Amino acid sequence: MISLNVNQKAYQVDADPNMPLLWVIRDIIGLTGTKYGCGVAQCGACVVHLNGEAVRSCVTKVSRAEGQQVTTIEGLSANNDHPAQVAWNEENVPQCGYCHSGQIMSAAVLLRDNPNPTDEDIDNAMAGNICRCGTYLRIRKAIHTAAELQRKEVKS
Amino acid sequence: MQDISRRYFIKSTSTLGVALWLGLSAKGDTVKSLDPAIAENFSPFILVEPNGNITIFNNKPEIGQGTFQSIPALIAEEFEVSLDHITIKLTNGEKQFGRQSAGGSSSIRGSYTQLRKVGAAAREVFIKAAANRWQTDATNCYAEAGEVINRTTKASFTYGELVGDAAKLDLPKDPQLKDPKDFKILGKPAHRPDIPLKTNGDAVFGIDVQLPGMLYATVERCPVLGGTLKSFNAGEALKMPGVVKIAEVERVIGRYSSVGVAVIADSYWNAMQARKKLKVDWDTRGYETFNSSAYDEKLRSMANEPGLLDKKKGDVDSLTLKPENIIEAFYETPQIAHHPLEPLNCVAQVNGDKVEIWTSTQVPSSITGGQIDGFKPENVKLNATFVGGGFGRRLSVDYVNEAVSVAKQINKPVKVIWSREDTTQQGTFRPMTFSQLKGGFAENGELVQFEHKVISPSYSEANRKDFNIAKVDGTMVEGIGEQAYEIPNIKTSYVRADYHVPLGAWRSVTSSTLAFAQECFIDELANKAKMDPMEFRISLLHKPSDTKKVLLKLKELSGWDTPLPKGRGRGVAVWEFFAGLCAQVVEVTYSKDRSVKVDKAIVVIDLGEMVNPDNVANQVEGAIIMALGAATKPGITLKNGVVAEHNFYDNPLVRIYEAPKIEVHILTDGGKIKGVGEPGLPPFAPALANAIFAVTGKRIRKMPFDLQYI
Amino acid sequence: MKMQMNVIKKYHGTVRAVAVVAVLLSAIGIMAFTLHKDDKSGKADPELFVVKKDSVASVKAFKQVYTVLMSARCMNCHPSGDIPLQGDDSHLHTMFPKRGVDGKGVYAMKCANCHQATNTPGLHTPPGNPKWHLPPADMKMVFQGRTPHQLAKQLMDPDQNGHKNMQQLIEHVDDTLVKAAWNPGEGRTLPPMSHAAFKKAWLTWLSTGAYAPKGK
């Protein structure tokens, strides 16, 4: 049994320690917001936070997450109100939406590490997340919007 | 918003008390009923419950193109309800909802007037019901936000309160559609109600479906396309943890079929681990020697064949132009994959002669309409989900049939997931097209001759067993004979090449390659004529046309006549085809290291009418990103019969840092309604290549081209 | 050939250090060193590491060292730009991850987000190491594009080699990230010689005076 803490909730999981965290989260724990896109850390659809870092759960063995803090898109905020989520809605970013759990989880790390990112910072941070529908311009815009929302939150 | 939760995908509609269904009959008349059984015999787009709950059914799959907002918007506009206060449900291929498919940029074009009519009839009948209660005239009442209001007394009834009364009234046959100037939703930028579900993990895609007792499966398919199973040894694989069963399954795709080996296990991961242990012997049927490089060479040699005549205007063969007034060029484009980010997947459960299916599909109507092998249409139940990208790949139901084939092996629901590698390597693919072009000028400088011959495998042949190859495959010459340019002598033709690889329509279908050849060649002709490429195009458009209108607008909006600084260039292209009409100017910067940066695309798209301008812009932006990838990233090639590419590391997609600025201008002059999803794609590659020519003098005649080194 | 004896003050010894020197000894056979106990700490320390200058042998050894350092397995993480290289052909790493201040990437693109403590199974999957990183921004230790002369000079310059002194250079050959080059994950070509051969060449180069090949 492997002890996991996902979205502040403790789980005991009976899984091969080599099983990628992605499949444990999706198929065993049942949180399907984290997506499978490529399986080889190319597309970023599977990004979750492991102790706050945007790891790719498709290549992260569940054993690495044992006893660590895992946050998935479902746990990013209580009411879909993380600044990135709010901004994503405001700017109508998604099309099919499949990649955006990962996009938002990556953006959340950027926004934490750099409250005032430039376009270049955004490109550097989001380069690992593929959007096949091509919503990149909106992702850039939404991250700027989120940064602004975040600054307002801090002020108030 | 919470109404649109993941739950409704699984649970069937349950209503409180007697609810009223309103919709369209097969003939297109507005109809209504309180009886759900009767409602099954028409297309019940609206459900009004006595408690005030209103449900609008969206019969076009949501594949990212925005039908979750745009289709209900057509109804809600006329019905006077806000999309924020209703429940939207995706239909599941039920016969009564008509053709449920997402393809050809057709959703709004095909529904615009019909669905408004449903909403308008519903509005009128509820107004009439309220007027009767108040014993006033209907003109003294109006509808707003799901209520009918008495102009005089300001009294109001909710639609829910009027269900019983409305049910007794006749629906107006020809309800009064709203004057567009009164629109509250249509034509206005709006938030899409599916977006909140896509930012917190709530949206359920096919791959997310979870059922009690569900098993998982992966299928080992013959790596040599065209081959099939000879024999296999499951011994070692069966010993792997979690493995439940290993069985032969069939995949039928178009006119091809192939047997593979399914590994069914208690988790996808375990199934994948066991799959690696399979020992399979394939019958490669001679395709193991097939190489794309040799095939491309064959296509080049076939350019000499006359081919089949597609369209003819005037008589190119009778022209006697001076050789120096004629130019010819040969263009090549690659075979490419669709790469929806949600890999192919399908959940199926077989129960005797019945099957239930949960999947991401562009074609619910195909699944419930007889395309599931071995099951009567009435015995197929579909649960459609959000679709994590289609782009044409999910027009085929091969992966659904294969999952059903897997489910037949086991008495439990089973989720078949294709790995990214499976999705990349097994097709369908957009076929390559090669183009032979010829143009000629008269002595007076007029362009009088234009010929475009397409050499390629046939999409229709690949997909239809009954396709007659003696005829032109119209899909493969799509659009080339239909451009608005007024050239007196035009000939388009098609040379079909044998092929054995599963082919599928790819967003904007063959226009995605033919526009590149044709619109770059138009640029070559402009250059030959020593004319500005924009002016040359406009000079070929004497009569008023949508194309002329769009180009003139683009000329103005792009600042075409303002020179760019040294090292920068711009190119133009326009394309009209079945899905719509769009023109683009692309601006590039050329560096000393011979790399090209795409600075900006300025787009004019002609729609006639539109629902949600913000969503139109999003679609066009996405189409351009996709077109950029198709123009500049490696395609799909076969080596020794096997697809040489595997995943995004060797078949890359555009990433955020490559995205240029995009300006989208939408024309809505009330003319012919045109599509949104695809038209943004075809003009981009030729406009880009033409911009590169403008700045470098180098004519690009082959996609993909490498922007890092021109 | 002019021979010169140089005595370098040796480090606080560890078992590994002793092993390194032992290898040196057996490899070269002519090196002199002393090893005695530090009375205060009780550790094997300090030692005297003796370098016997031999420019011909040194340059010869470095030429071998150079083939390894310029192989994809080493050079890919010592790029001339701020984006690591990838693959046997040393193309720019897909998705253009950036070095970052500490060499561990930036924001959502930190090395360890994909690169695990061990190699991920399969072809074209991220190779792994607990310390996976590039040299930091203030000390980029570029290999890509360096001539043998330049690289040798750079390796011996504490202002360009990560402030490494001789002892740390000796140790570095057994660094886990250096050794990762010989366990690169499926489908990747190994450096042109074994780690043992590389280590021998490296230590020979150092112990013969760390001469830089002539040239620019």
A32 at B interface, C-beta within 8 A: yes
Q: Flag if A37 and B341 touch (Cβ within 8 Å).
A: yes
pLDDT value, residue B105: 87
Per the structure, the complete domain to which residue A121 belongs is given by 83-155
Residue B622: closest CA among B596, B597, B601: B601
CA dist list (Å): B521 to B156, B331, B474, B689: 64, 9, 21, 11
Strand B243-253 relative to strand B141-144: parallel, antiparallel, unpaired? unpaired
Q: Which residues sit opposite B411 in a β-bridge? A: none
Cβ(B360)–Cβ(B417) below 8 Å: no
Q: CB neighbours (10 Å) of residue C190?
A: 15
**Are C113 and A54 within 8 A, CB to CB?**
yes
Both tokens assigned to B562: 């303002």
Taking a C-beta distance cutoff of 8 angstroms, is the pair B61, B102 a contact?
yes
Average pLDDT, integer, range C163-187:
94
Q: Provide the residue ranges of all domains of chain C, joining segments of one domain with +.
A: 60-205
CATH number at residue A113: 1.10.150.120
What's the CA gap between B619 and C182, in Å, rounded?
A: 47
Residue type at B91 in one-letter notation = T
Does the pLDDT of residue A74 top 90, yes or no? yes
Testing the interface with B: which of C123, C186, C188 to mutate, by most B Cβ within 10 A?
C123
Choose the final residue of a domain: A72, A98, A126. A72
Predicted pLDDT of residue C33? 38
| Contact (CB, 8 A) for A8 and A77 | no
CA distance B576 to chain C (A): 35
Residues A52 and A106 sit within 8 Å (Cβ to Cβ): no
Residues of B numbered 403-422 whose beta carbons fall under 8 angstroms of chain A's beta carbons: which are they? Answer: 417, 419-420
DSSP state letters, B399-454: HHHHHHHHHTTSSS-EEEE--HHHHHHS--EEPP-EEEEEEEE-TTS-EEEEEEEE
Disruptive mutation site among A46, A59, A103 for chain C (greatest number of C CBs within 10 Å) = A59
Handedness of CA B72, B75, B78, B81 (dihedral sign): negative
**CA B574 to chain CA mean position, Å:** 20
Residue contact B649–C94, C-beta within 8 A: yes
Instruction: Identify whether the C-beta of residue A21 lies closer than 8 Å to the C-beta of residue A35.
Output: no
Query: Where is the domain boundary, A49, A72, A95?
Result: A72
Buried/exposed code over B396-423 (b: 16+ C-beta within 10 A; e: otherwise): bbbbbbbbbbbbebbeebbbbbbbbbbb
C-alpha B65 chain-centroid distance: 8
DSSP H or E segment with residue B382: strand B380-384
Domains of chain B: 7-198 (3.30.365.10), 206-284+344-417 (3.30.365.10), 292-335+430-696 (3.30.365.10)
> What distance in Å separates residue B216's CA from the closest CA in chain A?
10
Q: Which of A13, A45, A72 is the last residue of a domain?
A: A72
Contact (CB<8Å) C125/A40: yes
* Whether B429 contacts B336, CB under 8 Å: yes
Does residue A109 form part of some domain?
yes
89-148 in chain A: CB under 8 A from chain B: 89, 92-101, 104, 122-124, 126-127, 129-140
Q: Which of residues 120-149 of C touch B (CB under 8 A)?
A: 123-124
How confident is residue C49, by pLDDT bands cut at 50, 70 and 90? low
Cβ-defined contact of C124 to B646 (cutoff 8 Å)? yes
* B661 in contact with chain A, both atoms CB, cutoff 8 A: yes
CB contact under 8 A, C107 and A64: no
Question: How many other C-beta atoms are found inside a 10 Å radius of the C-beta of residue B9?
Answer: 19
Both A65 and A108 in one domain: the answer is no
Distance from CA of B34 to the nearest CA of C (A): 54
Query: Among B710, B514, B579, which Cα is nearest to B105's?
Result: B579
Query: Chain A contacts of B614, Cβ < 8 Å?
Result: 92
Rounded to 5 degrees, what are φ and ψ at B231? -160, 165
Q: Are residues A68 and A93 in the same domain?
A: no
Which chain C residues in 59-78 lie under 8 Å from chain A, judged by CB atoms?
none
| Residue B397 and residue B361 in contact, taking contact as beta carbons nearer than 8 Å | yes
Q: Which two tokens stand for residue B146?
A: 């799901």
Amino acid at A145: T
Integer Cα distance of A73 and A85 in angstroms:
10
Strands, E, within B287-379: which ranges? 308-313, 326-332, 336-337, 345-351, 354-359
Mean pLDDT of chain A: 97
DSSP H/E element including A88:
helix A83-90
pLDDT in tens, C72-123: 999 999 999 999 999 999 999 999 999 999 999 999 999 999 999 999 999 9
- Residues of chain B where predicted confidence (pLDDT) is lower than 70: 1-17
Is A148 in the same domain as A87?
A: yes
Crossing angle for the helix pair B511-528 and B684-696, to the nearest 10 degrees: 30
Name the DSSP class of A20.
Answer: B
CA distance A80 to B666: 32
Residue A26 structure tokens: 């999706």
Tell me, what CATH number does A44's domain have? 3.10.20.30
CB-CB under 8 Å, C97 with A54: no
Domain assignment present for residue A78? The answer is no
Is A77 a member of any domain? no
Which chains, if any, share at least 3 CB pairs under 8 A with chain C? A, B
Helices marked H in B88-139 — which ranges? 107-134
* Mean pLDDT for chain B overall: 95
The answer to whether the CB atoms of A92 and B191 lie below 8 A apart is yes
Chain C residues within an 8 Å CB radius of A64: 116-117
Do C94 and B646 count as a contact with CB atoms less than 8 A apart?
no
Q: How far is CA A74 from CA A30, A101, B200, C119, in A?
A: 11, 9, 5, 29
Subunit contact B420:A40, Cβ cutoff 8 A: yes
Q: How many Cβ atoms are within 10 Å of B561's Cβ, its own excluded?
A: 10
Share of chain C above pLDDT 70, in %: 77
Across the interface, whether the CB atoms of C116 and A59 are under 8 A apart is answered yes
Q: How many residues does chain C have?
A: 216
Cα(A145)–Cα(B191) distance, integer angstroms: 16
Q: Which residues of A touch B625 (CB under 8 A)?
A: 131, 133-134, 136
Give residue-wise pLDDT tens across range A77-129.
Answer: 999 999 999 999 999 999 999 999 999 999 999 999 999 999 999 999 999 99
Segment 44-63 of chain A within 8 Å of chain B by CB: 45
Q: How far is C72 from chain A (nearest CA, A)?
A: 20
Residues of A in contact with C98 (CB under 8 A): 124
What does B259-292 look like in DSSP terms, one character per residue? Answer: EEEEEEESSHHHHHHHHTT-EEEEE-TTGGG--H
C95 touches chain B (CB under 8 A): yes
Nearest 5 degrees, angle CA B252-CA B254-CA B260? 25
Q: ∠ CA(C205), CA(C208), CA(C209), 5° rounding? A: 90
Q: Look up residue B650 and give its two tokens.
A: 């060797």
Q: Distance from C103 to chain A by nearest Cα, in Å? A: 14
Residues 6+ apart with CB under 8 A from B536: B522, B525, B526, B529
Share of chain B above pLDDT 70, in %: 98
Residues A112 and A59 in one domain: no
The predicted pLDDT at position C175 comes to 95
Which of A59, A127, A128 lies nearest to residue C125, judging by beta carbons?
A59
CA distance B125 to B138: 10
Whether the link from the prior residue into C204 is cis, omega within 30° of 0, is: no
For B20, B66, B462, C156, the CA distances from B54, given in Å and listed in that order, are 10, 20, 44, 77
Q: Omega into B544 within 30° of 0, i.e. cis?
A: no
Q: Which residues between 577 and 616 in chain B have a beta carbon less than 8 angstroms from any beta carbon of chain A? A: 614-615
Q: Counting Cβ atoms within 10 Å, is residue B79 exposed (0-12), middle (13-18) or buried (19+)?
A: buried
pLDDT of residue C1: 38
The total domain count for chain A is 2
Nearest CA-CA partner of B696 in B628, B597, B623: B597
Interface test with A, best of C106, C110, C113 (most A CBs within 10 A): C113
Give the pLDDT score at B694: 98
Cis amide bond preceding C191, omega within 30? no
Which of B649, B654, B706 best probes binding to C when mutated, by most C CB atoms within 10 angstroms?
B649
Sort out which chain A residues have CB atoms less than 8 A from B618's CB and list them.
92, 95, 135, 138
Is residue A139 one of the residues assigned to a domain? yes
Whether the per-residue pLDDT at C4 is higher than 60: the answer is: no
Token pair recorded at residue C200: 């021998």
Which helix (H) or strand (E) covers residue B650, if one does? none
